[in-house]
Structure 1
Amino acid sequence: MSAALAQLTSHGTDRRAAADEFRARHHGGVIGYVGADVPVEYITAASLMPLRLSGSPGTPSTAGDRCLGTGLDPAARSVLTRLLDHDFGPLDGIVVSRDCEASLRLFYALRELRRVDPALALPPVHLVDVLHLPHRTTTRYVRAKLGQLRATVETWAGRSIDDTVLADAITAHDRLRELLTRVAALRRLRPARLTGAEALSVVAATTALPADRATALLEELLTGADHLPEHEGLRVFLTGSPHDTGHLYTALEDRGLLVVGEDHDWGDLLSLRRVAAPTEDALAERYQYNGPAAPRASIRARAEHTRRAARDCGAEALVGYARTHDDAPRWDYPAQREVTGLPSVLLSRQPYGGLDEEAAEALTGLRPHAEVAR
């Protein structure tokens, strides 16, 4: 493993390390966020560090279950548990995007817990509501919501965000997206130069590092790409629930699969769309048209995206994965299976970050239109 890949993989797994280092150097200034609809450019422009919050599969989420109930996506319950346990270290604020029902309920829980129990020492929380309709009125709405976020981040930072500095932050994060797209292409080579688990870890690392440091590591990784190990396996495109850790990818690749693409926002969707210009209007349009994610996009849009993406990465099979209490992907799957025409399997109501025995068995005999559902 190259030095750059080793560092990125480390930060993808230990998501607190860089934040602790940033706090030590800058005496604070870390903002946690939930969801890919959060415009991190404002956080960077305020000289703060954005840290995307993730759950911990396999770790009890008792506190989150008590606050949110057990009928909600376990990833959100795990994030809340980790926040209550202060697993991410001191945060100066939390921004939650309204990208799905679980995120919205997480926001309300955090806001109320902070109000009724100051002893929990939860940071202030802000909700950003980005709509994804293709209308100019929607752009104006998103632009207004981004303005509210900018004002909130300025309050947390104790300083105003200069327009020139914001333009620099937009450019920096767009450069990061460009590099992530090039890194994703490494697992699409034949043979692949990255596994799916490694690629996912690299993406995760860039959401737990300052943008300039993440950029430098990605550039170093790409420079030495020809020396990375080669990987083979049944090339699969993964659709369905998002994955904030590499547990599921590792489980798939341990069974001889190679995840060469996906359509969730901890993977390829995070870097798919660029900002057309370093302005707030262009930034609003970037987040408005980002996607299509399962909770917010139509079945038709999801199917067309999956068809193109699976073709472009040379997928040989389609794996649909729906986590327990995340029902949207199961509605998308029939159309995705039809338009791709690939051998496929649907793994439904799966445990957070893992596979049940029935799903594992289905993967061993992946055949056209195979389906595991309950």
Structure 2
Amino acid sequence: MVSALAALEEAYARRAQEGPVVGYVGADVPVELLTAAGLRAIRLTGDPESGSEPGDRYLGRGVDPAARSVLTRLLDGAFGDLHRVVVAHDCEASLRLFYALRELRRVEPGRGLPEAYLVDLLHLPHRTTARYNRRRVGEFAARLEAWTGRELDLAGAVAAHDERRRLLAAVAELRRAVPARLTGRQFLAVANAVLPVTEHFALLARLLSEADRLDEHTGRRVFLSGSAHDTPHVYEAIEAEGHVIVGEDHSFGDLAVTGPVGTASLDALAEHYHRGILTAHRATPGARAAYAAAAVRRCRAELFVAYCRESDEAPAWDFPAQRAALDIPAVLLEHQEYGRADLTALRKEDPCPK
């Protein structure tokens, strides 16, 4: 029988599901509701290898290249039979992508682009924000019921996604072990395998049961901060240098390992996503620095790397506070091409002494 790790890596490499699905973009989409509606859903990702000229034309080159690549792939039909695209307001690039999709569908209906729907959740620490988010979650739930013609199974969906979060948290500990039992690239594949949630957590449980058969990975232990990584390219480049990425602070990695929703209600779901996660686009530098310091200690990292893509400037603003909060060397890789990494600074013995 193929190992659970191999099965998860294969599902990650496939990066698609067969048949009609709903695509989603961003860390704030309440995926529990998609599952509750009985929909197959995939998180849409870019492709650094295929170019992004159509996306550049409609979004402009000042937008994060990951979003421009996603739009290009949508225009090219790379995701297959997508019925709809749900977009979160987790950053400016996601919002720009939503507006472009909506307008292109209006003015160029012949392209056959899927209908786009915006989930506009906010993260200010106010009661009015909580009320706003509760309304948006309720509207999204009602829209899903209208799309599918069925009542949502919220209890089953919340339980399934909470179980996946619990198992992912346990799998994350395998990477934090010394020596690490998973590489950063492997954890990225395990966390983002394109599978229905129940199949995903079944394979995660199998992976944990097979943990004693996993390889050990040594090398300089790296904590990766900054831009989100929707493909494995940068992880592969860093780990090819003999490092092992044992933690990160973006929504495709450790930040996907959030606490449980718990109660199967729209109120609890809205509160869960109101709390959000500490990405560079919606948290203060102080909060990001405190998270980095705690996470570096937890995963016993030896080097902190802040990787910032071109046209994704927000992560670089956090770096001075992060570096001041750390007691390990820190290096900033700024203005990086999408899916590429200039590792010149990383190769220095002590790249950024305090």
TM-score (norm 2): 0.97
- Asked if 1:254 is matched to 2:237, the reply is no
Report deviation, 1:370: 5.5
In the alignment, the residues of structure 2 paired with residue 75 and residue 245 of structure 1 have an alpha-carbon distance, to the nearest angstrom, of 10
In the alignment, the residues of structure 2 paired with residue 262 and residue 361 of structure 1 have an alpha-carbon distance, to the nearest angstrom, of 20
* Residues 65 and 368 of structure 1: CA distance in aligned 2, closer, same or farther (over 3 Å): closer
One-letter amino acid of the counterpart of residue 38, structure 1? V
For 2:38, the equivalent position in structure 1 comes to: 47
Contact 1:92 1:123 in 2 (8 A): yes
For 1:275, the equivalent position in structure 2 comes to: 261
For 2:250, the equivalent position in structure 1 comes to: 264
Report deviation, 1:276: 3.4
For 2:71, the equivalent position in structure 1 comes to: 80
Match of 1:201 among 177, 186, 189: 189
Contact 1:346 1:370 in 2 (8 A): no
Report deviation, 1:177: 0.8
Report deviation, 1:366: 4.2
One-letter amino acid of the counterpart of residue 42, structure 2? L
Segments of 4+ moved more than 4 angstroms: none
Match of 1:235 among 204, 221, 230: 221
User: After superposition, what is the alpha-carbon deviation per residue over 1:132-181, rounded to whole angstroms, capped at 9, x for unaligned?
Assistant: 122222211111110111122222223232xxx20110111011111111
In the alignment, the residues of structure 2 paired with residue 226 and residue 265 of structure 1 have an alpha-carbon distance, to the nearest angstrom, of 28
One-letter amino acid of the counterpart of residue 202, structure 1? V
In the alignment, the residues of structure 2 paired with residue 368 and residue 122 of structure 1 have an alpha-carbon distance, to the nearest angstrom, of 46
For 2:13, the equivalent position in structure 1 comes to: 13
For 2:25, the equivalent position in structure 1 comes to: 34
One-letter amino acid of the counterpart of residue 234, structure 2? L
For 2:59, the equivalent position in structure 1 comes to: 68
Report deviation, 1:368: 5.5
Contact 2:119 2:137 in 1 (8 A): yes
- The 5 Å alignment of 1:1-374 reads 3-16=3-16, 19-20=17-18, 23=19, 28=20, 30-161=21-152, 165-205=153-193, 208-356=194-342, 360-367=343-350, 369=352
User: After superposition, what is the alpha-carbon deviation per residue over 1:200-234, rounded to whole angstroms, capped at 9, x for unaligned?
Assistant: 111111xx211111011111111101100110010
Aligned partner of residue 172 in structure 1, secondary structure: helix
In the alignment, the residues of structure 2 paired with residue 296 and residue 303 of structure 1 have an alpha-carbon distance, to the nearest angstrom, of 13
Contact 2:26 2:90 in 1 (8 A): yes
User: After superposition, what is the alpha-carbon deviation per residue over 1:303-348, rounded to whole angstroms, capped at 9, x for unaligned?
Assistant: 1111111111111110010000000011001101110121010000
In the alignment, the residues of structure 2 paired with residue 157 and residue 334 of structure 1 have an alpha-carbon distance, to the nearest angstrom, of 48
RMSD of aligned alpha carbons:
1.4
Aligned partner of residue 122 in structure 1, secondary structure: coil
Contact 1:97 1:127 in 2 (8 A): yes
Contact 2:158 2:262 in 1 (8 A): no
Aligned partner of residue 341 in structure 2, secondary structure: coil
In the alignment, the residues of structure 2 paired with residue 106 and residue 303 of structure 1 have an alpha-carbon distance, to the nearest angstrom, of 29
Give the number of equivalent residue pairs.
354
In the alignment, the residues of structure 1 paired with residue 51 and residue 304 of structure 2 have an alpha-carbon distance, to the nearest angstrom, of 31
In the alignment, the residues of structure 2 paired with residue 64 and residue 141 of structure 1 have an alpha-carbon distance, to the nearest angstrom, of 31
Aligned partner of residue 92 in structure 1, secondary structure: strand
Contact 2:345 2:351 in 1 (8 A): no
Percent identity, please: 54
In the alignment, the residues of structure 1 paired with residue 150 and residue 56 of structure 2 have an alpha-carbon distance, to the nearest angstrom, of 37
User: Comparing 267-276 with 64-73, which one deviates more in the overlay?
Assistant: 267-276
TM-score (norm 1): 0.92
Contact 1:68 1:105 in 2 (8 A): yes
